[in-house]
Amino acid sequence: MEIDIRSKEFAGKPVLGPIRLTLAPGERLAILGPSGIGKTTFLRIAAGLDRDFAGTVAAQGPTSVVFQEPTLLAWRTALQNVTLPTGVTESRARALLGDVGLAGKETLFPRQLSLGQQRRLALARAFAPEPQTLLMDEPFASLDAETAGRMLDLTETLLDRAGASLVFVTHDPGEAARLKARSLTLGGTPATMH
């Protein structure tokens, strides 16, 4: 994946750039930096959710996103929350739910799951389309230490198996080390990578 942001502005005020990044297949990259510096903006640009910037993003193969919140369809079951957005078969979705420890919870609705389970469901959904690149926005931030630890291990296992590269935003250098990710820090005005 190649990201080349010349500049990104909000209401005429430059917030990002210039930023050039090349991500090799399987490479893991953690983006650190203080709140409000533009980490989420950077990730939204990389995900193709924000196209209002000067520059280019080129991805090889499918890209998946894990958002800050689980962002599930409250009116669909756990299984449907994997199959409907991604278009994968039910059997693949079942296997993925098993991988993230949600076997037997296929027919439950998101509100019947704990926050940790909802996040694992979001993780299963992200891995469903066999992404080449996984983008994660502070995915472990609102979890208690134990749950966050389990989520980190699970993410590591699934990443290893899929061979996908990872870009994830965090404010915790410990998470970056645990996922064996190269760390870059976003800082300055407008923010650039260091």
Partner 1 sequence: MTSPPPKPGRAAALLPALLSLAAFVALWEALAALLAEPGTLPGPLRVLDVLGDEAASGRLAHATGVTLLRVVAAFVVAMAIGVALGLLLGRSGATDRWLNPWLVILVNLPALVVTVLCYIWIGLNELAAITAVVLNKVPLVTVMVREGARALRPDLDDMAQAFRMRPADRLRHVILPQLAPYIAGAARAGLSLIWKSW
Q: Among all chains, which residue has been given the structure tokens 């800082």?
A: 187
Q: Least separation, in Å, of the C-beta of 114 and partner 1?
A: 20
Q: Least separation, in Å, of the C-beta of 86 and partner 1?
A: 6
CA angle 47, 48, 50 (to 5 degrees): 110
Q: Which is nearer to partner 1, 86 or 117 (CB)?
A: 86
Q: Which is nearer to partner 1, 34 or 48 (CB)?
A: 48
Q: Which is nearer to partner 1, 71 or 183 (CB)?
A: 71
Contacts to partner 1 by CB under 8 A: 44, 47-49, 63-65, 67, 69, 71, 73, 75-76, 80, 84-87, 125, 129
Q: Which is nearer to partner 1, 29 or 65 (CB)?
A: 65
Q: Least separation, in Å, of the C-beta of 174 and partner 1?
A: 27
Q: Least separation, in Å, of the C-beta of 120 and partner 1?
A: 16
